[in-house]
Amino acid sequence: MNGAGVRRFGLGLLPWLGAILLWYAVRWSGFVNVSLIPAPHQVAAKFFELLTREGLLIDIFASTRRVFLGVALGILVAVPVGFLLGWYRPARTFADPMINFFRALPPIALIPLVIVYFGVDELAKLVILFYASFFSGVIVMYEGVSQITPLYIRVAQTLGANQAEIFRKVIIPLTVPHILTALRVSLGVAWATLVASELIAAQRGLGAMIQNASTYFLLDVIYVGIICIGLIALIMDLILRKITARLLVWQDRAIA
Amino acid sequence: MNKRAQFDKVSLSFETPKGRLNVVEDVSYDINDGDFIAVIGPSGCGKTTMMSMLAGFQKPTTGKVLFDGRPVAGPGPERGVIFQEYGVFPWLTVKQNIAFGLTLNANHVPTAERNAICDHYLGLMGLSDFANSYPKHLSGGMRQRLAIARAYAVKPQFLLMDEPFGALDAQTRSNMQNLLLKVLETEGKTVMLITHSVEEAIYLASRIVVVTARPARIKEIIDVPFAYPRDESIQERPEFAELRSHIRQLVMDEYRAQQAQMRPVSFSE
C-alpha cells in the first residue's frame, strides 16, 4: 500500500475508533446503568463465542441469502418496470399514483397480511424483501430513465441506427448507471427490512437472532447482531461501488 | 447543377395555449450539390427548425422538404448532423465514438477498414493521442472535433451543422473553421450551416440565407463572391467588410423587430 492509500485507510478507520472510544466513555461516565451497555470487548468476545459455538455463520448466511434473493428478484422486476415508466409518459401517468401508494407503506405493516397469504416459511420473508427492494428500485430507475436526454438518440439516428441498435447501443449504456444506483438503494432498504422480515417465525438469521436475544435480554447478542448487519451491508455496498466504478469509468464524477 | 435539397413553400407552426405559433413561414430555396449554405438570423427565429426539418426530426406543416427529390421521411446517414451540444457519447472512447456509425447495419464496414477510417479522422482532427480516452477528458474544442469526425466517418453526402462552433472560444473557433474548410476541400460535401455569426457565414459559405425574426421567412439570399480555397486573408478584403456591414444591418433590423415583438410577452409573463 502506498502513502496515500495508508492515509485514506487511516481516515476511514478513525470514525470507527472514535465510536468505540465514545462507547467506552458512555459506559464509564456513570450516567447510564453499566449492565445496560455491554463493553466493546465483551461484545467482541460474544461475537467469537457465537461464531465458534452457536453457528453465527449460519445466521449470517441465512440473512445474506434472503437479502440477496429479495434484492435480485426485486431489481429483476424493477428494471423493466422502471424503464417502461421512465420511457413512456402515459405509462407513468397510469402507474405513478399506484406505485407511490404502495411505496409509502412500510413493509412491516404488511407482515400480518403476508403471514395470512404466504405463511411463515422462507417465501413470506422473500415477499417482504422483494416488496421493499422492488419499490425502492423502481423509483430510482424511472427517475433516472426519464432524465435521459433525447440528444443521443437523435445523434444515433442521424448516423443510421435502427430502433434495435438505438436500444442496444444507446439506451442500455445510458440505463446501466441507473440500474446500479437502484441496486445500491434497494440493497440498503433490504438490509433495513431484514429484521422485520425475520419477525415471521424465523429459525435462523441475524434478525431472528436479535429477536430471540431480546426475549432473554441478551444485550451483547443484540449488539453482535446489529453490528453484523451493518458490516455485511457495508461490505456489499463496497463491492457494488467497486463494480460501479469499473463499469462506469466513463462517467464524470467528482471523486478524488 | 444538381439539386440536393429543396425547401418548397415550407411552413411550420404548432398550437400553444396562447394560440397558433408560426415558426417557419413560406420558405423556398434550393441547396445544390457542393453548396455551402449558411443560414443566419436572430437567435430563436426558427433557423434550427429549418435544419431540423431537413434532418428529419420535424415535419413541415405545409409545403415540402425534399432531399434528392424525395420528401424527407426521417433522419438518415446520408444527412450527417452536427449538433450544437456536440452529443458525443460519454460511455464510448474517442475512437469508439468515431467508429459508432460504422458498426451500424446501415453502413457496416469490415473491422480493418473501420480502423483505417478511425485512424484517418483521429489524425485529421488531431485526436490521435486521445483515441482511447473518454470524452470527459476532452476540452470543448476537442469534443466538437470528435462530433465532426464521427459524422464524417459514415461519409454523408450532406452535412447539417447547428451552430457547431457557438460554444467555443475565439481561437478554437477560428481553428475549427479553418479545419472545416480544409476537410471540405478534400472531401467535397454539401453543407447547411446554422450560425449567428456574420463573419463565420461569410468566411465559410458560398451562399448566405438571411432569415427574418420569427416566423422565419427569407429576407435575402446572398452569393458570397470569394472562391475556394479560402484563407483568413479574405477577412481583410474590402468586399468582406462591405458584405459584413450589409448582412449585419439585415440581421440587426430583424433583431430589433424580434425584440419589439417579444417585449409585451416578456412583461406579461
B199 and B123 in one domain?
Answer: no
Burial classification of residue A18, based on how many CB atoms lie within 10 Å of its CB (0-12 exposed, 13-18 middle, 19 or more buried): exposed
Q: How does strand B36-40 pair with strand B19-32?
A: unpaired
Q: Are residues B92 and B111 in the same domain?
A: yes
Domain range A38-247, CATH architecture = Orthogonal Bundle (1.10)
Judgement on whether residues B66 and B168 belong to the same structural domain of the protein: yes
**Can you read off the three cell numbers belonging to residue B204?**
465559410
Task: Report residues of chain A scoring pLDDT below 50.
Answer: 255-256
Q: Which residue from B minimizes the CA distance to A175?
A: B91
Residues of chain B in contact with residue A151, where contact means CB-CB under 8 angstroms, are 83, 85, 87
Mutate to test the interface with B, among A158, A180, A251 (most CBs of B within 10 A): A158
Residues B89 and B179 grouped into a single domain: no
Question: Do B201 and B235 reside in the same domain of the chain?
Answer: yes
pLDDT in tens, A107-159: 888 888 988 999 888 899 999 999 999 999 999 998 888 888 889 999 999 99
Q: Identify the pLDDT of residue B268.
A: 40
By C-alpha distance, which of B214, B223, B228 is closest to B246?
B223
Size of interface A-B (CB pairs under 8 A): 70
Q: Of the candidates B122, B155, B188, which is a domain's last residue?
A: B155
Query: Is A157 an 8 Å CB contact of chain B?
Result: yes
Counted domains in chain B:
2
The answer to whether residues B142 and B180 belong to one domain is: no
Q: B203 and B144 in one domain?
A: no
pLDDT tens, residue by residue, B147-190: 989 998 988 889 999 998 887 888 888 888 998 898 888 887 89
- State whether B163 and B48 are in the same domain: yes
Q: How far is CA A128 from CA A191, A230, A238, in A?
A: 11, 19, 24
Let me know whether B168 and B183 are in one domain: yes
Residues B172, B128, single domain; the answer is: no
Residue A246: its chain B contacts at CB < 8 A? Answer: none
Instruction: Tell me which chain A residues have a C-beta less than 8 angstroms from the C-beta of B87.
Output: 151-152, 154-155
Tell me which amino acid residue A240 is: L
Q: What is the pLDDT of residue B263?
A: 58
Q: Which of B252, B49, B65 is nearest to B162 (CA)?
A: B49
Q: Does residue B107 belong to the interface with chain A, where contact is any CB pair within 8 Å?
A: yes
A 32-51 → B contacts, CB under 8 A: none
Grade residue B1 by pLDDT with cuts at 50, 70 and 90. Answer: low
From CA A152, how far away is CA B163, in angstroms rounded?
Answer: 17
Please state, for a pLDDT cut of 70, what percent of chain B lies above it: 97
Q: What is the pLDDT of residue B262?
A: 67
CB-neighbour burial class of residue B101 (10 A; exposed 0-12, middle 13-18, buried 19+): buried
- Cα distance between residue B72 and residue A38, in whole Å: 77
DSSP letters spanning B3-67: EEEEEEEEEEEEEETTEEEEEEEEEEEEEETT-EEEEE-STTSSHHHHHHHHHTSS--SEEEEEE
Residue B11: phi and psi, rounded to 5, are -130, 150
Q: What is the pLDDT of residues B80-114, one digit of tens each?
A: 999 988 899 999 999 999 999 999 998 888 999 99
- Identify the CATH number of the domain in which residue B177 sits: 3.40.50.300
Of B155, B170, B189, which closes a domain?
A: B155
- Domain containing B99 equals 82-155
Cα-based distances in Å from B59 to A169, B72, B156:
26, 8, 21
Position B1: which residue type?
A: M
